[in-house]
Amino acid sequence: MSKVLDLIQQETNRQANTIRLIASENYASPEILTALGSSLTNKYSEGYPQHRYYEGQEFIDQIELIAIENAKKLFKSKFANVQAYSGSPANLAVYLALLQPGDTILGLALSSGGHLTHGHKVSISGKWLNSISYGLTTDGYINYDQIEKLAQEHKPKLIISGHSAYPRQVDFKRIGEIAKSIGAYHLADISHISGLVATGLHPHPFPYADIITTTTHKILRGPRGALILTNDPELAQKVDKAVFPGLQGGPHNNNIAGIAIALEYDLKPEYTDYCKQVITNAKALSKAMQNRDFEIVSGGTENHLLLVDLRNKNIDGDTLSKALNKVNIETNKNTIPFDTASPFKPNGIRLGTPAVTTLGLKEQDMETISEFISQVVNNIDNQSQLEKIKTQVIEFISKFKY
Ligand code: DSN
């Protein structure tokens, strides 16, 4: 047996014995894993349904059409492209569709909770485009006045809303109005909150955004992949051309099948219950952390994640996330607004509830998790105590199965 199969089994076991709080992660269902490991990976299908460059597409076409229909239904969108390999290529496809090299874009700074592909200087979005960034107010909310000012000053061709580490609702209407006032496009990258948008638990970017992108492997509980959505037929054509042949070759048919299955389940009423519980759990975790004297950025959360400001605990996010990992609690270090520390040793950690909610954890379990985190902070250099906490964590989380 390949060593790799053994490592896959070890990773499966690790996930089963870990409290997974990384806000962008989740569990794909066994049906989706079957689709990912299926014969579909053997097939090349450049093009789109009914317009392919290779023969043998009778089943592949049907699968892609189901994924498209499910995406359109879930997000009440007229057009959907399901072929982008993941979120970063999806955003790149939108830039290729709408912009020329050197054009100006305006997005949330990475250090304020944005994403690399929203114009960070190390990403192609910041290298080949002229990228301007907006930030947050001192209390941790998006600074809409600053967006307006920067938009007037720099006249970007595209304004990006959306985030990777922002615990509050986004005012897509306000950003859309700013974009409209200067004739800019508005791209809403809702990768983190797409499930909340689809189920009506967060305001929808349409009709205030021209294009929406979202990954499919976060709160949507699908396989890795992305959707690009629009209601504008001209933009839809441009996006399709940008994805293929502009950026990609053959689509990953096995992933598209997994996306079709995931979205089918996301359309069921139970998925709305799941998303409601994700928010309830995030709020409960935030409260439980506050009760243990942790500072929460912006004082709480309205979505699936929270940012913990660790400055009053005299510990940095890198040290704490590594210590938590030792006791099988998986988080990531994160900058907090106006962080003066380096991103390698920032002053915060990010906690998210989509994965633990999939396992069935409820509000009272958030108390338990916050107590584990608090104990780790209090015993950061005490190896034997950390070992004891790890045993308790495994005993607690291994009872929950998906
Ligand atoms: N890496 C993702 C996240 O953790 O938010 C964004 O792409």
**Structure confidence by residue, pLDDT tens digits, 177-231:** 999 999 999 999 999 999 999 999 999 999 999 999 999 999 999 999 999 999 9
Whether 17 maps to a domain, the answer reads no
The answer on 235 and 321 residing in a single domain is: no
146 Cα: distance to centroid of ligand 1 (angstroms): 25
Q: Distance, CA 24 to ligand 1 centroid (Å)?
A: 6
Instruction: Specify whether 210 is located in the same domain as 358.
Output: no
Please say if 189 is a catalytic residue. yes
Cα distances (angstroms) measured from residue 106 to each of 125, 130, 173, 230: 11, 9, 16, 20
Put simply, whether the predicted model's pTM sits higher than 0.85 gets the answer: yes
The DSSP code sequence of 328-382 is: TEE-EEE--TT--S-TTS-SEEEEE-HHHHHTT--HHHHHHHHHHHHHHHHTTT-
Compute the distance from residue 164 Cα to the ligand 1 centre, in Å. Answer: 6
- Backbone torsions φ then ψ of 311, nearest 5 degrees: -60, -35
Query: Which of the listed residues 266, 294, 312 is the one where a domain comes to its end?
Result: 266
> Which CATH number does the domain housing residue 190 bear?
3.40.640.10
User: In the annotation, is 335 catalytic?
Assistant: no
Whether 234 is a known active-site residue: answer no
Residues 239 and 112 in one domain: yes
Last residue of a domain, one of 266, 292, 316: 266
63, 167: one domain? yes
Residue 114 Cβ contacting ligand 1 at under 6 Å: no
Domain count, the chain: 2
Instruction: List, edge to edge, every strand of the sheet that includes 348-352.
Output: 295-296, 305-309, 348-352, 332-334
Nearest ligand 1 atom to alpha carbon 332? 4
User: If pLDDT is split at 50, 70 and 90, which confidence band does 86 have?
Assistant: very high
Give the pLDDT confidence score for residue 1 in this predicted structure. Answer: 86
Is residue 289 pLDDT above 90, yes or no? yes
Cβ of 354 closer than 6 Å to ligand 1, yes or no, is no
pLDDT in tens, 28-68: 999 999 999 999 999 999 999 999 999 999 999 999 999 99
Q: Is 53 a catalytic residue?
A: no
| Domain enclosing residue 284, as ranges | 271-397
Structural domain ending residue among the three candidates 266, 299, 326: 266
What's the CA-to-centroid distance between 288 and ligand 1, angstroms? Answer: 25
Residue 218 appears among annotated catalytic residues: yes
Q: Are residues 75 and 202 in the same domain?
A: yes
What does the pLDDT read at residue 402?
84
Q: What is the best residue among 21, 91, 115 to mutate for testing ligand 1's pocket, by most ligand atoms within 8 Å of CB?
A: 115
- pLDDT surpasses 90 at 282: yes
**Mean pLDDT across the chain, nearest whole number?**
98
What are the tokens at 107? 């997005």
The whole-angstrom separation of Cα 114 and Cα 105 is: 13
Do 189 and 286 reside in the same domain of the chain? no
Task: Say if residue 262 is in the same domain as residue 288.
Answer: no
